Chains A and B, each alone.
Chain A
């Protein structure tokens, strides 16, 4: 037995398994949701298996049935079917779809401010979700000298011990307009000096601090817009936006923090006015809107696993100046929304500024683990879909999971990048997924650049369920997690006197896409992924793509309704979910032994780099460290991560994300950790990398996430190289 192994064994006894515990909570606190199902244009699902009554219309050839209707607020709208099973309502400020499925060309010269090299103007750094900075001041050679230059505390933090629920803060700071903008989990906006952290102004909407849809107070930051030609002296030529859990979107002047009177009702748009179907909870605006062409594109998050018929998935396009509705995209057909819902977009989106296409990651339909009451094709659910940003009509869509009964929401914005393959430049996108695949598609057509195979998958043995007979499988690039679950951990099995292996033998497991079952299904990957909402980063010059991922095993068990009700009456609640009035409730457990140790082999989290031009994986390393009770587990075990990497042109990766409350810089060529720094909690946001007055800064919002640790913070911390002469 090696020393490391001995250490690991003993550590395991002591630590009792941080990684797994953590993961069980992921679903409960994962942001809103969608469910998933059938395909898009490129559907290859076996016809014999299709039980749908609903026809699967070709996304490029949407029906032209168009009708006028009254919206909830009395404004006239036009409804146009689009894509396979979707429709779009054109609002008073919108432009009706042409009906030909083609995106309008972009208006030239717009949003140049978004393309500035030194800024970090959006959640993902730019519209293409590349998470890439052309900054070169900090390099692999000097990154070890990086030092903290300022720190700021927002004050908006709660550990849940008082009246306010625990905070989960994943906000990317924005640097634009010579200002650093932050959104907080109490839904305040804070403007800071980018080089000192000195406060410029704050805006407080006095939002309800209640966990209306999520178990925690959540926020992923703010969005910024500015007029193409701002008029001097006029307010609100530049606007910062923040959404709240109770579906209010605020717009304030970016220079003063004052409400923009012309935006909605005195600076506020109540998005819940459009929540008219299955409106059991508000459409929580936790992810900041995506901004392009004077338009805000807005998805929402919901409440997981409680309802069968939940609010059906929508994306809103609003006028950035006035908040007026341009269009509403619906991902689910009208015919099914009495029995299902969600298929919403809770993660970030990306936009190709050269084509005007909006790329949306659509989540799975409700209820998430049983599809017996939604057996129709729902082609836009669990998909990546391209919309015409002007009209909201579907240009193409590719379903990533058919008849999703694993809660495999498409959960991150696709990264847009041109790749070189076979001597040609191909406009590509890379879509990460909970199921661990990297889908590399032509972003203009949705066609795969590396083949996607339709493989047979196990059938469901649950009465009423009709699992899809095949699922899309991506052999290349190599999935971020292995095909087979890692197997029973010897240490955990020894500690539990064989409990882990005994349980594993009794669970149903037939590889990926094994359906949930009554006896319990070993789910790998489960709803925690795979890859999470941060997605990956790319160096557009080299085509090197980096993504962090989780290796977690959970147990999915369906519980017949009468048995579920008995459990409820007995007060049993932990890990059980209602799924509305579906035939089955649901139990979710992370596969742990009695001591709380993960029953599967590490590593629990990795980071990997791929060459998109060849599809080959360049390297893969365990990333981060599990921390429990203060103890750090071996580095080779890695850590479950939440957050995302950022790449710089100089060849560095900056990332927080791990349980051990450290932020790190890695060598893009090898994955080697070149620098790390302790912060107050897990930095579950992606950093902003920007240059101001000739100095490059890397700034993290350090918020923590109860999924990783019950450790929260309100810290904003910025790093830079020492200035010349400093310390001499």
Chain B
């Protein structure tokens, strides 16, 4: 476990947030940049919306550490579904940079899953 994590920082969630923000920017470009073949289509509006949700989910994972475990679990699950769904939609839109960031987000999500400070870990860290 990293030093930062021993102090209760969730590096996975922060990485995920970065990926989500990058994804949101790319989705916005895909949606509003005329002439890319997919702008202003339902598909791009969809990924714009789902990447925005992903940003919100990542923020929750990063900051809502005191939330009940079941709630954090549900959020993590929804974030995973968002990641996979957005990546797939981006694949069909042939927005491959967005696919790449969603895959990076998946890695971040896994890091979060295995390294996120649990309540017990935080107690240990505080002690």
Contact = CB atoms under 8 A, between A and B. Distances in A.
A662 B37 CA distance: 9
Nearest to B90: A631
A629 B41 contact: yes
Interface string B93-106: 11000000000000
The residue among A11, A14, A633, A680 with the most chain B CB atoms within 10 A of its own CB is: A14
A680 B93 CA distance: 16
B88 interface: yes
Contact of B36 (A631, A632, A662, A678): A678
Interface string A570-584: 000000000000000
B44 interface: yes
Contacts of B36: 678
A678 B43 CA distance: 18
B35 A680 contact: yes
A10 B89 CA distance: 10
B37 A678 contact: yes
A124 interface: no
Interface residues of A, number: 16
B110 interface: no
B88 A10 contact: yes
B28 interface: no
Interface string B41-57: 11110000000000000
A630 B35 contact: no
Contacts of A678: 35-37
B35 A14 contact: no
A7 interface: yes
Interface residues of B, number: 14
Contacts of B37: 627, 630, 660-662, 678
A632 B88 CA distance: 11
B38 interface: yes
Interface string A657-692: 000111000000000000000101000000000000
Contacts of B38: 630
B35 A631 contact: no
B77 interface: no
B94 A632 contact: yes
Nearest to B37: A678
Contact of B92 (A631, A661, A662, A680): A631
B19 to A, nearest CB: 22
B63 interface: no
The residue among A627, A630, A661, A678 with the most chain B CB atoms within 10 A of its own CB is: A630
Contact of A630 (B43, B88, B91): B43
A629 B43 CA distance: 5
A662 B36 CA distance: 11
Interface of B: 35-38, 41-44, 88-89, 91-94
23 contacts: A7-B91, A10-B88, A14-B89, A15-B92, A629-B43, A630-B37, A630-B41, A630-B43, A630-B44, A630-B93, A631-B41, A631-B43, A631-B92, A632-B92, A632-B93, A632-B94, A633-B92, A660-B37, A661-B37, A662-B37, A678-B36, A678-B37, A680-B35
The 3 A-B residue pairs with the shortest CB-CB distance in the complex, in nearest-first order: A630-B41, A630-B43, A631-B92
